[in-house]
């Protein structure tokens, strides 16, 4: 067996858990940065209609519709994997944690994402 | 209260706020992104938003949502920072203090948006 095959075999069982863990942190940080930008825009409400509408004008660019859809996907991934983590923390489903990640966080997540992303996209075109 | 006990509370609250956010965020996306005709058409305005958040019930929900999201997000950030840094107790307390202060300013920044409605 080659050295690479040994390494693959050694870490194969850890790959899913580590991927889920890294993904949860990366999406969490992304959402925190988004929350900062979101509050920054919403804060313009306190300066009256002209200032707030000027702040909103930035987001009329079509690029922001795609970013909105990306945000939607990030939220779904973080939320579904977060529910998976909570289920594992309750002591349930440890023997199925990998399947829960792929079938539930990724699989069901992709279905939910398409169900939401398609109408969001169609409303913009 | 020992540090270990505090950490358990932090871990527990992260799950509680996470569960709350699943519900609040689903409702937020539903109301703001899917049901808001103005946003879907791309002509969201001050007047359209005012129509919803002039209602004190929405103000309460939005502010509670902000506070829960800030706790969850900043506690998550603190977990990540402390996880990757090999530092002593005092340094960890300093990081916590910085993050809590940022959270207080951030919360005020968001709540202030409602002051002239």
Question: Residues B70, B107: contact at Cβ < 8 Å?
Answer: yes
Q: Is residue A45 assigned to a domain?
A: no
Q: Is residue A72 assigned to a domain?
A: yes
**Position with higher pLDDT, A124 vs B88:** B88
Distance from CA of A8 to the nearest CA of B (A): 25
A46 close contact with B: CB closer than 8 A: yes
CB contacts of A124 in chain B (<8 Å) are: 40, 42
Query: In this structure, which long-range contacts are made by residues B72-76, counting pairs with CB atoms below 8 Å and at least 24 apart in sequence?
Result: B72/B14, B72/B17, B72/B18, B72/B21, B73/A28, B73/A31, B73/A32, B73/A35, B74/A32, B74/B99, B74/B100, B74/B102, B74/B103, B74/B106, B75/B10, B75/B13, B75/B14, B75/B17, B76/A25, B76/A28, B76/A29, B76/A32, B76/B14
- ipTM for the assembly: 0.92
Number of domains, chain A = 1
Does A75 sit within 8 Å of B73, measured CB to CB? no
Give me the domain span that covers residue A75: 14-34+61-124
The answer on pLDDT for B1 being more than 60 is no
pLDDT value, residue A66: 92
In this structure, chain A runs to a length of 125
B80 close contact with A: CB closer than 8 A: yes
pLDDT value, residue B81: 95
CATH 1.20.1300 fits B3-114, yes or no: yes
Does A52 sit within 8 Å of B46, measured CB to CB? yes
pTM of the predicted protein model: 0.90
pLDDT value, residue A11: 66
pLDDT class of B112 with cuts at 50, 70, 90: very high
B112 close contact with A: CB closer than 8 A: yes
Distance from CA of A82 to the nearest CA of B (A): 7
Per-residue 3-state assignment (H helix, E strand, C coil) for A1-24: CCHHHHHHHHHHHHHHHHHHHHHH
Q: Cβ–Cβ contacts within 10 Å for residue A4, how many?
A: 8
Residues B39-64: tens digit of each pLDDT: 777 778 898 888 888 899 999 999 99
Residues B23-44: tens digit of each pLDDT: 999 999 898 888 888 877 777 8
pLDDT value, residue B8: 86
User: What does the block give as tokens for B80?
Assistant: 């990540």
Q: Is residue A2 assigned to a domain?
A: no
CB contacts of B26 in chain A (<8 Å) are: 79
Q: Is residue A21 assigned to a domain?
A: yes
Distance CA A42, CA A52 (A): 8
Pick among B29, B38, B114 to test the A interface (most A CBs inside 10 A): B29
Does B112 sit within 8 Å of A43, measured CB to CB? yes
A73 close contact with B: CB closer than 8 A: no
Mean pLDDT along residues B85-103: 94
Does B113 sit within 8 Å of A43, measured CB to CB? yes
For A121, the closest chain B residue by CA position comes to B40
Determine whether A113 is exposed, middle or buried from the number of CB atoms within 10 Å of its CB (0-12, 13-18, 19+).
Answer: middle
| Regions of chain A with pLDDT less than 50 | none
CB contacts of B113 in chain A (<8 Å) are: 39, 42-46
């Amino acid at each position: 067996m080659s050295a690479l095959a040994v390494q693959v075999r050694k870490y194969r069982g850890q790959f899913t858990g580590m991927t889920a863990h890294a993904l949860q942190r990366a999406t969490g940080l992304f959402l925190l940065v988004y929350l900062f930008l979101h509050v920054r825009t919403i804060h313009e409400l306190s300066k009256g209609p002209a200032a707030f509408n000027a702040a909103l004008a930035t987001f009329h660019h079509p690029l922001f519709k795609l970013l909105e859809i990306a945000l939607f996907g990030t939220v779904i991934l973080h939320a579904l994997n977060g529910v998976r983590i909570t289920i594992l923390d309750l002591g349930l489903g440890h023997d199925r944690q990998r399947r829960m990640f792929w079938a539930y966080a990724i699989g069901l997540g992709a279905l939910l994402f398409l169900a939401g992303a398609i109408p969001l996209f169609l409303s913009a075109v | 209260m020992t540090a270990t006990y505090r950490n358990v509370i932090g871990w527990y609250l992260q799950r509680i706020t996470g569960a709350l956010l699943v519900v609040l965020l689903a409702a937020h996306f539903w109301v703001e992104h899917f049901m808001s005709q103005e946003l879907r058409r791309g002509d969201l305005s001050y007047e359209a938003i005012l129509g919803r958040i002039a209602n004190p019930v929405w103000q309460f929900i939005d502010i509670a949502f902000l506070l829960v999201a800030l706790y969850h997000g900043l506690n998550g950030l603190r977990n990540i920072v402390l996880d990757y840094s090999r530092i002593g107790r005092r340094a960890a307390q300093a990081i916590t203090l910085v993050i809590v202060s940022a959270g207080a300013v951030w919360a005020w920044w968001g709540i202030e948006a409602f002051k002239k409605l």
